Amino acid sequence: MKAENYISLEFPSKSANEAFARGAVACFAAQLDPTLEELGDIKTAVSEAVTNCIVHAYPKEIGKIWLKAFILNGNKLKITVKDKGVGISDIEQAKTPMFTTGGQERSGMGFTIMESFMDGLKIKSVPGGGTVVHMTKTISIRAAKGRK
């Protein structure tokens, strides 16, 4: 599916950049005229994906995070968050609610939240080679705006 528009960002895995990533994707997604609820869902999912990179992919160093967002036909938003960190050895286990490798202060709900707030979630990972998270969300077309 060909993108109608896209953004591509690269930034270090510093906690301050989580808010930047969330805000950048929210501003980009605004052109689809999402509801406040849809926008909140997108921001929360991006926050979780980027936080996973910061906390889990690069636990002992600052690495790079790549974020891309695409607007596709049918009012669909696709977001990809990628790292070259430690990777995930068992994706199904990592998706289990309450499972975490980040210590007791982590909730272990990141993938569960992403899956709940987005329409689609795909995770690819190679231990020692990084992780790529693909998320999609179809934005409702609001009749009041007369959009097609």
Catalytic choice (48, 61, 92, 115) = 48
Residue 100, CA atoms < 13 Å, CB-side half-sphere: 17
Catalytic choice (37, 106, 115, 142) = 106
Among 82, 86, 83, smallest CA distance to 127 is for 86
d(Cα 70, Cα 148) in Å, to the nearest integer?
Answer: 19
Active site includes 37? no
Active site includes 52? yes
Active site includes 73? no
Among 121, 137, 113, 110, smallest CA distance to 26 is for 137
Q: Is residue 131 within 8 Å of 124, Cβ to Cβ?
A: yes
Q: Which residues are catalytic?
A: 48, 52, 106
